[in-house]
Amino acid sequence: MGFRLLADATAVFHFLFVAYVVTGGYLAWYFRRTIWLHVLAVVWGFSTVVFTVDCPLTTLENWARHRAGEAGLPPSGFIDHYLTGVLYPREDLQLVRMLVVVAVVVSWLGFWLRGRHRQPGHAVR
């Protein structure tokens, strides 16, 4: 039971991480210091897709699932197993990737524009 719980908790954390990669730049509009965390998350997230780097969260989930007597994720990984073909059609994968890039770029552009229009002396969170 403990390994199953660890695997499920890892999957939930992985979902939250993917959501943060997509939306964290908008969060930085209000909590400006979090932009650096978002930049790191985006670099890591995109590197796992572009360079097919193994994600430690996928490795942890697989390890815990195997220890719980369950099948692990397929070699294609977390996104392919939980998102592609589930939240959007498999044939739209490239479109979804482009939309994620657009969402990140727009969030960073908005972050920059909001920073330029801030009042001098305004507190930074």
Closest CA to 82 of 63, 61, 66, 64: 61
Asked if residue 120 has pLDDT above 70, the reply is no
Asked if residue 44 has pLDDT above 90, the reply is yes
Tally of helices (H runs) and strands (E runs) in the chain:
5, 0
The first and second tokens of residue 3, run together, are: 């390994």
pLDDT digits (tens, 9 = 90+) for 65-109: 999 999 999 988 899 999 999 999 999 999 999 999 999 999 999
The length of the chain is 125
Tell me the average pLDDT across 35-47.
96
Tell me the average pLDDT across 5-26.
97
Distance from C-alpha of 46 to C-alpha of 104, rounded to nearest angstrom: 11
Distance (Å) of CA 91 to CA 37, 47, 84, 95, 107: 31, 22, 9, 9, 26
The first and second tokens of residue 32, run together, are: 């400006």
* Average predicted confidence (pLDDT) for the chain: 92
Give the per-residue pLDDT at 122: 56
